[in-house]
């Protein structure tokens, strides 16, 4: 794995990317499953009941069986560390409840990198529980250790796309592998907040990463036009079989403390290649469709970020986003008729009112006065309908454009919903409500839109790709989601 970083080589040293969605509370109850990890919900109580499918730290830990046996049990120190982290997070969550009880609403954490200089009311509206999230994040920085399997060769393992729509696969693999543990010397030196998250000592690991790329499998092993995915399933099956036969860790937990990451549409299907990975593993996926078996309490929803040439479009990053007063358009969309959601959106709204509610079918805006990103920067709301799959890179683009994302989807588990209150900075509209879209958006008072835009500006940091990674960026938020899921169960000792 001593190879030069592919993704870092191209483009600027810092790439900015954002992801976003908004849910509106305009009386429309939206089918956006956003089950938070119970630990981090605002009113979390150590004894509160847990949503059925959501394993919870507080309400009885799910104890997973030891699959292996013999001397392969989890080292007690690993579980003890997790116990300490759980206790610290619970204390932070309780402290905040007390604060709220006194009515001062002061949820600042006194860590300026976290609080970002915004008022505590904004923190409290954007995060489910700012104090608990802050504590959990600090505990992650302090303790979390990931072991990355060394088996396999690029391009399918230890490598992934660095640009375009599936870039998160390549970025994440590379960023995790390059974050060398301190023992290895200074390679991760500039990455203070993350240094050491990767460990070379599996006995210290809380989770194990399977560093294959489904996008690369599709590129190198799939025969276009066949829709035959058996080669992908076979590669996943082989990889798991190899690491399970060479190391004791897979069998020890039947895969429960292992994770994969895929942004490709076929990531969920590829995970079926190994039944234990599919059933027990933590699957970090862009295609987080709850109707296709995505489990918000066990899997991780990853933002889809289109790094066209290896970075975010300059039009989105060059200047700060304009204020609401400089945005003449209520909402904007331009895109192809990909899938049933887009089809409905275009059928209802295409070309209806180009002065206020510009909706274009693919490419038409090019003949208009403005380019795509200028439209985004001049709209208060940016429509982010699902395409062929639930996730849309428009969400992150909207956030970077300072535009409130409107998530038009069914069954999309939004990224980082375990800590973020999406309804504070996005609007969710179920597909069935597409005919009412304009009415819903017009019904949101201007002050509320302003508030959402403040939220968008705050959460942008979570949807930004930095090279090397920085605190609270998309890499660390993804790691934090994995950390929370690992906190949600114990392994037998
Ligand atoms: C809010 O909390 C911070 C950090 O604990 C403290 O410094 C500040 O004085 C508090 N502000 C109010 C209004 O209580
Ligand atoms: C794990 O279990 C599989 C299937 O039973 C077996 O083939 C493999 O040898 C086991 N791995 C180890 C390290 O014992
Ligand atoms: C989500 O999954 C369901 C069930 O397979 C499917 O019908 C639906 O089209 C998917 N959503 C999108 C946007 O592709």
pLDDT in tens, 147-161: 999 999 999 999 999
Cβ contacts of residue 245 below 8 Å, gap of 6+? none
Which of the pair, 490 or 340, is modelled with greater confidence? Answer: 340
- Predicted pLDDT of residue 56: 33
From ligand 1's centre to the CA of 418, what distance in Å?
A: 26
DSSP state of 381: E
- Predicted pLDDT of residue 29: 26
- Predicted pLDDT of residue 64: 52
Q: Check the CA dihedral 60-65-70-72 and report its sign.
A: negative
Q: Which residue's alpha carbon is nearest to atom 8 within ligand 2? A: 245
Q: What is the 3-state secondary structure (H, E, C) of 75-130?
A: CHHHHHHHHHHHHHHHHHHHHHHHHHHCCCCCCCCCCHHHHCCCCHHHHHHHECCH
Which residues are near ligand 2 (CB < 6 Å)?
244-245, 248, 251
HSE, CB side, 13 Å, CA atoms: give it for residue 304: 25
Backbone phi, then psi, for 153, in 5-degree steps?
-130, 150
Task: Give how far Cα 319 sits from Cα of 315, 373, 377, 466, Å.
Answer: 8, 12, 10, 18
Kindly indicate the confidence band of residue 119, based on its pLDDT and cuts at 50, 70 and 90. confident
d(CA 336, CA 339): 9
4 pLDDT more than 80: no
d(CA 481, CA 301): 8
The DSSP result for 211-279, as a single string, is -B-HHHHHHHH--TTS---HHHHHHHHHHHHHHHHH-SHHHHHTTTTEEEEE-STTHHHHGGGSHHHHH
From ligand 2's centre to the CA of 259, what distance in Å?
A: 18
- Helix, strand or coil, per DSSP, at residue 490: strand
pLDDT mean over 436-456? 98
- Predicted pLDDT of residue 9: 54
**CA 156 to the chain's CA centroid:** 22
Ligand nearest to the CA of residue 384, numbered in listed order: 3
Cβ contacts of residue 193 below 8 Å, gap of 6+? 141, 469, 470, 471, 476
- Predicted pLDDT of residue 5: 67
Can you give the C-alpha Rg of the chain in angstroms?
A: 22
From ligand 3's centre to the CA of 385, what distance in Å?
A: 13
Q: Which atom of ligand 1 is nearest to the CA of 106?
A: 1
pLDDT mean over 451-460? 98
Structure tokens that stand for 53 in this block: 């499918």
Counting residues of the chain whose pLDDT is more than 90, the rounded percentage is 71
Closest Cα partner for 294 from 272, 322, 317, 314? 272
The best mutation among 100, 101, 108 to test binding of ligand 1, ranked by most ligand atoms within 8 Å of the C-beta, falls on 108
- Predicted pLDDT of residue 329: 97
Ligand nearest to the CA of residue 276, numbered in listed order: 2
Top mean-pLDDT range of 21-35, 69-83, 327-341: 327-341
Cα end-to-end span (Å), the chain: 32
Chain segment 288-313, per-residue pLDDT in tens? 999 999 999 999 999 999 999 899 99
Task: Give how far Cα 14 sits from Cα of 11, 125, 175, 470, Å.
Answer: 8, 29, 13, 10
Q: Among 87-91, 282-286, 402-406, whose mean pLDDT is lowest?
A: 87-91
- Predicted pLDDT of residue 95: 76
Closest Cα partner for 432 from 380, 382, 381, 385? 385
Kindly indicate the confidence band of residue 108, based on its pLDDT and cuts at 50, 70 and 90. low
Decide: 45 in ligand 1 pocket, CB within 6 A: no
Ligand nearest to the CA of residue 33, numbered in listed order: 3
Reported as type and span, the H/E element at residue 403 is: none
């Amino acid at each position: 794995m001593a190879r030069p970083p592919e993704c870092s080589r191209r483009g600027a040293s810092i790439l900015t990317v954002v992801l976003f969605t908004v849910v509106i509370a305009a009386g429309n109850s939206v089918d956006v499953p956003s089950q938070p990890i119970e630990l981090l919900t605002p009113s979390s109580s150590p004894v509160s009941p847990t949503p059925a499918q959501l394993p919870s730290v507080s309400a009885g830990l799910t104890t997973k069986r030891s699959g292996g046996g013999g001397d392969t049990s989890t080292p007690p120190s690993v579980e003890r560390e997790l116990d300490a982290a759980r206790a610290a997070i619970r204390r932070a969550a309780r402290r905040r409840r007390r604060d709220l009880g006194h009515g001062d609403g002061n949820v600042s954490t006194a860590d300026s990198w976290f609080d970002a200089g915004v008022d505590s009311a904004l923190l409290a509206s954007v995060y489910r529980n700012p104090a608990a999230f802050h504590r959990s994040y600090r505990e992650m920085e302090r303790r979390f250790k990931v072991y990355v399997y060394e088996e396999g060769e690029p391009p399918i393992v230890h490598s992934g796309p660095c640009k375009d729509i599936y870039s998160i696969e390549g970025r994440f693999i590379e960023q995790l592998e390059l974050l060398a543990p301190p023992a290895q010397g200074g390679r991760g030196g500039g990455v203070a907040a993350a240094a050491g998250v990767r460990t070379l000592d599996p006995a210290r690991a809380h989770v194990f990463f399977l560093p294959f790329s489904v996008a690369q499998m599709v590129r190198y092993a799939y025969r276009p036009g066949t829709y035959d995915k058996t080669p992908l399933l076979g590669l996943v099956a082989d990889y798991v079989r190899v690491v399970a036969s060479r190391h004791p860790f897979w069998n020890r937990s039947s895969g429960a403390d292992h994770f994969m990451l895929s942004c490709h549409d076929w990531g969920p299907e590829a995970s079926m290649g190994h039944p234990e990975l599919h059933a027990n593993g933590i699957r970090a996926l862009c295609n987080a469709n709850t109707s296709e078996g995505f489990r918000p309490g066990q899997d991780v929803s990853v933002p889809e970020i289109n790094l066209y040439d290896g970075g975010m479009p300059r039009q989105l990053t060059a200047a700060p986003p304009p204020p609401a007063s400089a945005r003449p358009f209520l909402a904007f969309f331009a895109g192809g008729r990909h899938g049933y959601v887009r089809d409905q959106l275009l059928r209802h709204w295409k070309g209806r009112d180009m002065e206020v509610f510009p909706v274009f079918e693919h490419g038409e805006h090019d003949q208009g006065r403005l380019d795509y990103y200028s439209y985004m920067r001049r709209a208060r709301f940016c429509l982010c309908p699902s395409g062929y799959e639930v996730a849309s890179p428009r969400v992150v683009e909207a956030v970077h454009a300072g535009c409130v994302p409107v998530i038009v989807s069914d069954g999309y588990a939004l990224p980082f919903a375990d800590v973020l209150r999406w309804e504070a900075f996005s609007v969710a509209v179920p597909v069935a409500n597409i005919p009412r879209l304009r009415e819903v958006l017009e019904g949101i008072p201007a002050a509320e839109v302003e508030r959402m835009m403040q939220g968008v500006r705050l959460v942008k940091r979570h949807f930004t790709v930095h090279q090397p990674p920085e605190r609270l960026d998309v890499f660390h938020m993804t790691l934090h989601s994995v950390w929370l899921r690992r906190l949600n169960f114990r392994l037998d000792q």
